[in-house]
């Protein structure tokens, strides 16, 4: 039973206009009685997606980081479900923190009594509002970023993360989920997406080289892609525009990439492949198709040629996996590559388990890191696109 008084959501909203990000945990605690809790503690996911870290200063000063694998809090994060526990007469509820469908972490509620469905619904509503406030307040200060970082970030990675969209986005029948590693030192890989009316646009880029030079090169490719897309150019002309900008601003170098457009009403899939690994199509957890290989030269080497656009028609429920060569070329110390066969097998098993798309991607990148003993020699980036209503249902509580 929650305390009678001011609505906790309205109370939180009334205080946020002049708040800093570091003020949010204490503001959250002030509304705890309104949702039947004596303690509310927000935990944010770190960049490696291995830890849940308490946002300081929280009302529970003894709160420590929790592992995502092997804890109830982690299960709430992994599966986007509400988890409950009772120990030493202390009742806890773990609720996912979602900004839209982007997993930011979890909210721990120490509740006064076992919550019914209505009380859990109030916690979910509060967690949803708090996640939105975290996102907006993080634009004005560094508290959220400092919490999520477990080590300093290279300048190249700082540039890249500042350009990226959220790792997860969904509409009722589309899901986009992405991962990048090494997250603290990524430079040459990047991705972007947008949903306009019934069309999903996705771009995955891999700049030649490493470090700040590669980061600047791929940042230009990203900006050229967004500019062309927002101008309304079709896919072929968008590829030409990206090629022109790379050629003019960074002569004698190049960026590989895949540009994709998916019509969510018909399943028509259009792709331009600029010297990049070919995306894979999965159906019912099985690899059924590899999209056509390079349809044009890499951006910067095509000298403005349009190349060609490949057209496929997906079946509802299909998934498309885009990936950079750092995924399949990850090597063990003995030289064994992760390879395409292992990639197909691993992703297929995760899809067969009906995991949410973001969790599939989290597990994939950790598998790549494990294969190479946490020492990647190249950036590893992947984007999973789901054209399925059940895909979006799996990433909401």
Instruction: State which H helix or E strand residue 319 sits in.
Output: strand 319-323
At 1 the pLDDT is 45
Contact 133, 68 (CB under 8 A): no
The DSSP symbol for 167 reads S
Complete DSSP assignment for 26-41: HHHHHTGGGGTEEEEE
User: How far apart (Å, rounded) are the C-alpha atoms in residues 117 and 353?
Assistant: 27
Range of the domain at 67: 8-148
Residues 198 and 88 in one domain: no
DSSP E strand boundaries for 88-162: 90-99, 102-111
- Give the pair of three-digit tokens for residue 261: 């457009």
143 and 160 inside one domain:
no
161 and 37, same structural domain? no
> Would 246 be classed as within a structural domain?
yes
Q: How far apart are CA 85 and CA 330, in angstroms?
A: 40
What is the pLDDT, as a whole number, of residue 85? 93
Considering the domain architecture, whether residues 183 and 249 belong to the same structural domain is answered as: yes
From the list 383, 7, 40, the residue with the least C-alpha distance to 205 is: 383
Phi, psi of 78 (to 5 degrees): -65, -45
Do 316 and 180 reside in the same domain of the chain? Answer: yes
Q: Residue ranges of the chain with pLDDT lower than 70?
A: 1-5
Q: Are residues 139 and 162 in the same domain?
A: no
Q: Is residue 83 part of a domain?
A: yes
Q: Are 171 and 194 in contact (CB under 8 A)?
A: no
Q: 292 and 180 in one domain?
A: yes
Query: In 138-206, where does DSSP find H-type helix?
Result: 143-148, 155-163
Do residue 114 and residue 233 come from a single domain? no
**CATH at 143:** 3.30.450.40
Domain assignment of residue 2, yes or no: no
- Cα 238 from Cα 329, distance rounded (Å): 29
The answer to whether position 351 is within a domain reads: yes
- The reply to whether 205 and 327 lie within a common domain is yes
Indicate the burial class of 70 (C-beta count within 10 angstroms; 0-12, 13-18, 19 or more): exposed
Using an 8 Å Cβ cutoff, are 120 and 82 in contact?
Answer: yes
Looking at the fold, whether 129 and 162 belong to one and the same domain comes out as: no
Q: Break the chain down into helix, strand, coil percent, rounded to 5.
A: 35, 30, 35
The pLDDT tens digits for 110-147 are 999 999 999 999 999 999 999 999 999 999 999 999 99
CA 148, 153, 155 angle in degrees (round to 5)? 140
Q: What is the DSSP letter of 224?
A: H
Residue 125 lies in a domain: yes
Choose one of 83, 116, 148: the last residue of a domain: 148
- Structure pTM? 0.94
Q: What is the number of domains present in the chain?
A: 2
- What residues contact residue 222 under an 8 Å CB cut-off, 6+ apart? 163, 190, 192, 203, 205
Helix (H, G, I), strand (E, B) or coil at 8: helix
Domain final residue pick, 115, 130, 148: 148
- As a whole number of angstroms, the distance between CA 42 and CA 392 comes to 24
Query: Does residue 1 sit within a domain?
Result: no
- Do the domain assignments include residue 309? yes
Distance of alpha carbon 338 from alpha carbon 265, whole angstroms: 36
Separation between Cα atoms, residue 130 and residue 136, nearest integer Å: 10
Looking at residue 242, what is its pLDDT? Answer: 97
Residue with tokens 């989290």: 362
Domain boundary among 124, 148, 172: 148
Indicate whether 36 belongs to any domain: yes
Which value, to the nearest 10 degrees, does the dihedral of the CA atoms of residues 328, 187, 217, 281 take? 30
Q: Would you state the pLDDT for residue 5?
A: 56
Residue corresponding to tokens 């080289």:
209
* Alpha carbon 310 to its chain's center: 27
**Could you write out the DSSP letters of every residue in 230-262?**
HHT--HHHHHHHHHHHHHHHSTT--EEEEEEEE
Domain at 161, CATH number: 3.60.40.10
Using only the alpha carbons of the chain, give its radius of gyration. 22
- Positive or negative, the CA dihedral 9, 12, 14, 19 is negative
User: Would you tell me how many other CB atoms lie within 10 Å of the CB of residue 320?
Assistant: 24
Pair (144, 161) in one structural domain: no
Tell me, yes or no, whether 266 and 364 share the same domain: yes
Euclidean distance between the first and the last CA atom of the chain, given in angstroms as a whole number = 21
């Amino acid at each position: 039973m929650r305390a009678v008084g001011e609505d906790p959501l309205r109370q939180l909203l009334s205080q946020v206009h002049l708040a800093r990000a570091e003020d949010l945990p204490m503001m959250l605690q002030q509304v705890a009685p309104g949702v039947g809790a004596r303690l509310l503690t927000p935990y944010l996911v770190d960049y490696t997606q291995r830890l849940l870290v308490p946002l300081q200063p929280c009302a529970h000063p003894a709160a420590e980081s929790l592992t995502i694998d092997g804890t109830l809090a982690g299960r709430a994060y992994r599966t986007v479900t509400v988890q409950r526990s009772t120990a030493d007469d202390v009742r806890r509820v773990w609720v996912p923190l979602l900004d839209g469908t982007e997993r930011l972490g979890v909210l721990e509620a120490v509740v006064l009594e076992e919550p019914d469905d209505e009380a859990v619904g109030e916690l979910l509503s509060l967690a949803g509002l708090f996640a939105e406030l975290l996102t907006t307040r993080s634009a004005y200060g560094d508290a959220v970023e400092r919490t999520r970082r477990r080590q300093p970030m290279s300048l190249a990675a700082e540039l890249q993360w500042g350009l990226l969209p959220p790792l997860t986005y969904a509409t009722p029948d589309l899901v986009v989920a992405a991962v990048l590693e090494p997250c603290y030192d990524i430079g040459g890989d990047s991705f972007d997406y947008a949903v306009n009316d019934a069309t999903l646009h996705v771009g995955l880029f891999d700049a030649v080289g490493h470090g700040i030079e590669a980061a600047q090169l791929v940042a230009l490719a990203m900006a050229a892609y967004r500019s062309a897309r927002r101008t309304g150019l079709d896919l072929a002309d968008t590829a030409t525009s990206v090629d022109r900008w790379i050629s003019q601003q960074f002569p004698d170098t190049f960026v590989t990439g895949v540009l994709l457009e998916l019509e969510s009403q018909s399943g028509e899939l259009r792709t331009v492949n600029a010297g990049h690994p070919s995306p894979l199509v999965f159906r019912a957890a099985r690899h059924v198709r590899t999209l056509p290989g390079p349809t044009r030269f890499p951006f910067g080497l095509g000298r403005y040629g349009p190349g060609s656009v490949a057209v496929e028609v997906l079946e509802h429920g299909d998934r498309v996996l885009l990936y950079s060569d750092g995924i399949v070329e990850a090597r063990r110390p003995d030289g064994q590559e992760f390879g395409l066969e292992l990639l197909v097998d691993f992703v297929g098993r995760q899809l067969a388990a009906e995991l949410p798309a973001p969790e599939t991607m989290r597990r994939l990148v950790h598998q790549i890191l494990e294969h190479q003993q946490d020492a990647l020699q190249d950036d590893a980036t992947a984007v999973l696109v789901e054209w399925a209503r059940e895909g979006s249902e799996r990433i909401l509580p």
